[in-house]
């Protein structure tokens, strides 16, 4: 029970970070939190969390917040702004990956005590980052396109466009990322379990994501009504 509460607490924390960033800094806050969650998920993916017996990469609990971000931007700003945030986050991910990879090859002083830990943590980084880059870029652009396609087709059904775009794009993100990052390094059974677990966690994100979007929309409608 405690483990489940910790997982839910982490998910709620991620959503709160997005909402606080949005409340304090608007679009810039969303851009900043998008970069943060993509970068931290590249590290957290190495940790596997037990969710109802399934091995779920902890990074899945962080990357899901980026889909909330693009949905907020798509709903309350524009498709162009949503794509711009995707490109900014993609660029930051490239810079971060190259910088960390380069740092691993810097000469080590005799007093250094972190070399082994850093190599253990970041040596798999290039392949993981490549998987993350490709999966993020492809799935996020599909999410943006599908969100607006559904928005035009079902203008009054927010839950359809929000859930529909997220469910499809998260499936693509999961398969692309885990295949590129771990195919050949993990048994197929383990990889398949990770895909199921990761996608299941993301479906939970999709439901919570929709609730939050409705809350934001309701508050905005009330604020506009007061004016």
Distance, in Å, from the CA atom of 151 to the CA atom of 53, rounded to the nearest integer, reads: 37
* Number of C-beta neighbours around residue 59 at 10 A: 25
* Number of C-beta neighbours around residue 184 at 10 A: 8
* pLDDT value of residue 186: 81
- Reported as a pLDDT band with limits 50, 70 and 90, residue 224 is low
User: Could you give the percent of the chain with pLDDT greater than 90?
Assistant: 26
* pLDDT value of residue 220: 78
pLDDT, tens digit, 9 for 90 and up, residues 77-87: 998 999 999 99
Query: The domain spanning residue 171 has which CATH number?
Result: 1.10.1760
- Rounded to 10 degrees, the C-alpha dihedral 196/168/209/22 comes to 120
pLDDT, tens digit, 9 for 90 and up, residues 17-63: 999 999 999 999 999 999 999 889 888 888 888 877 777 888 888 88
Instruction: Count Cβ atoms within 10 A of the Cβ of residue 89 and give its class: 0-12 exposed, 13-18 middle, 19 or more buried.
Output: buried
* pLDDT value of residue 227: 53
The token pair at 143 is 């999410």
Stated pTM of the model: 0.84
Number of structural domains in the chain:
1
Name the more confident of 36 and 197. 36
Distance, in Å, from the CA atom of 130 to the CA atom of 133, rounded to the nearest integer, reads: 5
Enclosing domain of residue 74: 2-226
* pLDDT value of residue 153: 92
- Tell me which of 26-30, 169-173, 184-188 is least confident: 184-188
């Amino acid at each position: 029970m405690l483990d489940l509460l910790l997982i839910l607490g982490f998910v709620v924390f991620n959503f709160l970070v997005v909402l606080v960033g949005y409340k304090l800094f608007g679009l810039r806050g969303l851009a900043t939190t998008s970069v943060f969650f993509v970068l931290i998920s590249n590290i957290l993916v190495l940790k596997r969390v037990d969710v109802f017996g399934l091995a779920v990469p902890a990074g899945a609990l962080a990357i899901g917040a980026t889909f909330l971000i693009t949905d907020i931007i798509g709903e309350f700003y524009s498709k162009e702004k949503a794509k711009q945030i995707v490109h900014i986050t993609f660029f930051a991910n490239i810079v971060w990956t190259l910088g960390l990879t380069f740092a691993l090859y810097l000469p080590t002083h005799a007093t250094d005590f972190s070399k082994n830990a850093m190599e253990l943590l970041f040596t798999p980084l290039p392949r993981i980052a490549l998987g993350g880059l490709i999966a993020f870029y492809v799935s996020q652009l599909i999410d943006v396109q599908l969100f607006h396609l559904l928005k035009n087709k079902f203008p009054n059904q927010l839950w359809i466009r929000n859930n529909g775009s997220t469910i499809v794009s998260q499936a693509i993100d999961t398969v692309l990322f885990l295949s590129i990052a771990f195919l050949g390094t993990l048994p197929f059974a383990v990889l398949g379990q990770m895909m199921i677990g990761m996608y299941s966690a993301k479906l939970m994100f999709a439901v919570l994501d929709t609730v939050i979007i409705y809350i934001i929309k309701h508050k905005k409608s009330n604020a506009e009504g007061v004016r």
